[in-house]
Amino acid sequence: MYKSLAGLTGGQLANPAGPEYSILMQSIQIRINGKEHVFELNRDITESMTLSYLLREKLGYTGLKISCDEGACGACTILMDGKAVLSCMMLAIEARGHEILTIEGLPKDDVVIEAFARQCEPGYGTALQCGICTPGFVMSTKALLSENPNPTLPEVKEALSGHICRCGCYSGVAQAVLNAAKKTGQEFLKKNSKGDRS
């Protein structure tokens, strides 16, 4: 249904041609960082508003960054239903009924965030400098590790290949991801070993 909504003209949105367009007159509900939000089309959001604009400008989730605004840099990456998506390339109405997670929705002690913040191993460098690209890298890493908890370096590079770091911290970022994977694996083993004893 969302693909057909994206192709509608303003006239069709304002004057639905039939019952198939009645969805546009209803509230649009999106769960963002664990909280339900309800929006009215043409009051709170428009049919052409991007998800990135809704999140940043309307709701104040400024952790996601808008850099290229054309899906080429990865800075606006968020998770939708656990999958990494470019929020600047998605209409807000396409998120209807979905679960959205921005970097603000992660706990302060998140394993991936800590791995990026602590990365400074000699030979790899830091995983962040100016910070513009960092939230996007973090969210893509979360998606990667949820699907592949123990990625190889080539798999990390492939998963993050849609991201641009203008400071050139690619080695540090890759190392941070591998360190986060190790830490996640250790925590998983610790939880499972505790469960076996009880």
Chain centroid to CA 151: 19
Q: What is the mean pLDDT of the chain?
A: 86
Phi, psi of 44 (to 5 degrees): -95, -35
pLDDT, tens only, 99-129: 999 999 999 999 999 999 999 988 899 998 9
pLDDT in tens, the chain (198 residues): 233 344 444 444 444 445 445 554 578 999 999 999 999 999 999 999 999 999 999 999 999 999 999 999 999 999 999 999 999 999 999 999 999 999 999 999 999 999 999 999 888 999 989 999 999 999 999 999 999 999 999 999 999 999 999 999 999 999 999 999 999 877 655 666 665 544
Domain boundaries, the chain: 2-62+91-102, 111-191
Q: Which CATH class is domain 111-191?
A: mainly alpha
3-state secondary structure of 22: helix
What predicted TM-score, i.e. pTM, was given to this entire model?
0.82
pLDDT, tens only, 137-160: 999 999 999 999 999 999 999 999
Q: CB count, 10 Å around CB of 105?
A: 18
